[in-house]
Structure formats: structure tokens, C-alpha cells
Structure 1
């Protein structure tokens, strides 16, 4: 199996390197990842400037590796279309430092890279841990789970419009309760904007936010991870609200 590994934390991320190591026991791994941190870029693609890819070495387990001055979605596009010698049969994005739960999937460069794989007809996995610290709590377990999921996909396949979004709680592996198959919850943010001034008196802004888990249903990804479970969610990019189509057709929209 030819596997493309990418992320949004950048080519130097410890999470990416651990993921490559684990997946190299499953198949032939190639890497195309951003040259720097690209978290929160969603599904952005670069269309108004050229992209530059540099082949690098020093990632154990990878047969090819490139750093790209673009977004995670760019990495998958160029990897599949131009950079890699063989078309990947699986895209794996991660391991992300920080969870991608609920509505995070719409902001996440990690998940969007996996979605780009689906758009290109390639099965995909996104994997994240809940630890933002230097400790990377749960990283080994996350990489092992990604490898296990890759083997399962190789055996069973996935629906063509579906990826697996894997999230681990911020716990040592031995304290995690197990795996729950979950749905995407609702996770909104209380935004904070901090206004500052540069030395010339011109304003600039820092945008931050605090997560607010709105959907605490027992089968939601947000609740599962909060309660110490590993969440695996089958995510589709089909966004149509089909149940509402008939009613919408009855509206006078002229």
C-alpha cells in the first residue's frame, strides 16, 4: 500500500514523524507537508502565487519527503498530481497536536487534508491528540491506531465519500477507556480579539478563542473524548440538508 502522510503542524512536527514510523510497518510511506505551521487553514488552496516544493531527507520510514510552502490541501494536491512517484492508495493526516472535534472539522487543516484525499478519490484518515504540550501525551497510541485503521481500510475499504477522524483524550494510553464510534458533535468558540499597536501606531489584532462544547450527547465525539474515550468518527463531505430540500422548493424565492 502506498501511503501519503501530511499534516498542518509542519514538516518538523514530532507527530508527523511518529506517524510515519508507525505507518512504515503497514506500507510504503511518502511525505508532503507544509514547511511551517499551518493550523486552522481549513481547506484553503493557494492560487495567487507559485508554490515551491523542496525534497528533504531525515524522516525515518519515508521513502520520499517534500516540504511545501503551501497549505495542507495544497500538499495533497501536489503530492498526488506531481511530486510522488506512485499514486497513494491512502492519505493519512496528523498526528495533530490538539483535538479536531465537532465543528473543528470545518476549520482544521488536518481534517481538510484528509478531505482533499477523498475529493481525489483516495481513502483518508485524520488523527489528533488532545495534548498541546511538549509532552505529546498519547502520541504513540495515536500512531498505532492510525496504523491499525490503515490495515482495516486495506482489508475492508471505506465508502468513497467518507474519512475516519480519530481523536484521543489527554491521558496516558493505559488510562484511556477504549474506542467509541461517534458522530460529529457541535463545538463552537467564544472568540477573543486582542487589539495592539505596532511601533508606528498602526493597529493589529490577535484572534484567539475558547472552545464551548454545545453537544454533549452520549454518542458525540466531544463527549467521548471528554469522558476519556478514543473517538473514531466516519465523516462525509456531502453537506446537503436533503430533508429540507422539499420544503425549500415550496418557498417563493423569486
Structure 2
């Protein structure tokens, strides 16, 4: 077993160290992560400037780019053997509902999935790293379970959100679908000491579709949310409608 681990909080984040520790004994572990916090960068690849790669004292390799850059470089530059599993996290904060479209944590796992490698993104729901040790134990159990009973015949991509509680390692697991959020709060304008105006992106909106079966509902019930994801964004339901729209009038 060879495991590639990435994240979006940067190679110095406590979450990635905890995930690496949780994987001890499962196989050979390689770490490729962004040099700096790259939260919210989604699946961006750096195309118009070169990437630098360095190795930290603990052996983690860090990239001057995005989470997707980190995994892409590891998989395509001949730096490591092809991994059997790609892991991302443990993220400092939830990645549920619409968050997954923006999440660098999910993007790093998705990059592995795009190369045909099973992948899991792990997130600790509350920011601040409370009960990170518990979340790491949950991550280890999820990894062991899916390796022992993997879905047959195809790579898979899982988005796992773990409650920030001391009891999370004994909490039930729920297979969920993504919920939805309301629109984000407005951007916030501020002036610097020289009077120049700049803007902060507003916080994410509140949960809008959070009923039973969603990731939001599972977390609210104190469960570990496990959401299978796919990349196909085609609106299959409305393809016939668009086909009729194309027909001559």
C-alpha cells in the first residue's frame, strides 16, 4: 500500500500531521501539500508560472501552489511511485453542501480521483483543531473500513466530515448526500491606513437544504458524514428539455 496525503491548510497545519500519524502502519506515506494556506482554491491548477518544490525537515514536500497542484505534481512528475490511495486533510473546518465546490481539501482528493485513484477528503467540522486526535482516529477507522471492503470495479471519492467532539470516535456513521446553502453573505469593504479600498469575501450562507439524509443533518445529529462524490456535473435530468429546445421551431 502506498498513500499520498495532501491538504489545503498548508504543510505546517496540525491536521495533515495528524492524518499522517493516523496512517502509520498502513503502508508507505508520501506528503505533498501547499506551502501556504490555500483554502477556497477549489480545483485550480497553476498554469502561468512555474512551481517550486521543497522538502521540510520532517520529510513533507511542499509546493508553491494549490492543493490540486500538489497532487498533480506528485502524480505526474515522476517523483513517487503511483499511490494506491489519495487522502486529503484533516481540514480545519467543515466541507459540506456547496462548500465542496470551493474546497481545496476536496479538490486535492478529487485530483487523485481524476487519475483513477481512490480518494478520501477529511474535515473536522469546527475550526480551531479541537479534538483533532479524535478525528484522526475516526479517519483511521474509515480508511481501514473502506480498504477492507472497497466498492468493486471503479475508483471512488469520499467526502468525510467529522464532528468536533470527544465522542466522535464512537459516533455512528451516515452515508449522506450534499445539502445546500443559502447564498454567501455580502463581501465586506475595508480601507487600509492609506485609504485604499479592498474587499473581504463574505462568509458562507446558512444551510438551506439540510433535511434527513444530508451531510448537514448527519453532523447536527452528531454523526460522521460520509458523502460519495462524482465529477460529472451534467444535468442529466434536463437533457431531454434542452434537446427539445434545440429542435427546429
TM-score by structure 2 length?
0.92
The alignment status of 1:92 with 2:92, answered yes or no, reads no
1:248 CA drift (Å): 1.1
Q: 2:139: which partner in 1?
A: 146
CA shift for structure 1 position 83 = 5.6
**What is the CA–CA distance in structure 2 between the aligned matches of 1:50 and 1:65, rounded to whole Å?**
20
On the 8 A contact 1:187/1:222 being kept in 2, the answer is no
Instruction: Tell me which residue corresponds to 2:105.
Output: 110
- In structure 2, the residue matched to 1:24 is 24
Higher strand proportion (structure 1 or 2): 1
- Residue 240 of structure 2: aligned partner: 246
Residue 54 of structure 1 and its aligned partner are, at CA, apart by 0.3
Measured against aligned partners, the alpha-carbon deviations of 1:154-189 in whole angstroms (never above 9, x if no partner) come to: 333346353111101232226964211111111234
Q: Does residue 71 in structure 1 map to residue 66 in structure 2?
A: yes
Deviation at 1:217, TM superposition (A): 1.5
Partner of 1:233: 227
Distance in 2 of aligned mates of 1:32 and 1:186: 31
Paired positions, count: 247
Cα contact 1:129–1:139 (8 A) shared by 2: yes
For the 8 Å contact 2:168–2:224, the answer to whether it is kept is: no
User: Over aligned residues, Cα RMSD in angstroms?
Assistant: 1.9
What SS is found at the alignment partner of 1:251?
A: helix
SS of the counterpart of 2:120? Answer: strand
CA separation in 1, counterparts of 2:117 and 2:207? 31
How far does residue 229 in structure 1 lie from its aligned partner after superposition?
1.1
User: How many Å separate the matches in 2 of 1:33 and 1:71?
Assistant: 8
Gaps of 5+ in 1: 59-63
Q: Runs of 4 or more off by more than 4 Å in structure 1? A: none
Aligned to 1:137: 130
Contact 2:100–2:106 under 8 Å retained in 1: yes
User: Structure 1 232/67 Cα, relative in aligned 2: closer, same or farther at 3 Å?
Assistant: same
The counterpart of 2:114, out of the listed 103, 119, 122, is 119
How many Å separate the matches in 1 of 2:194 and 2:72?
40
* Range that drifts further, 155-164 or 68-77: 155-164
* Distance in structure 1 (CA, Å) of the matches to 2:171 and 2:149: 25
Q: In structure 2, what is the Cα distance between the partners aligned to 1:65 and 1:12? A: 9
Higher mean alpha-carbon deviation, 95-104 vs 192-201, is at 192-201
Distance in 2 of aligned mates of 1:169 and 1:44: 28
- State the TM-score, normalizing by the size of structure 1: 0.90
Quote the residue 1:4 is aligned against.
4
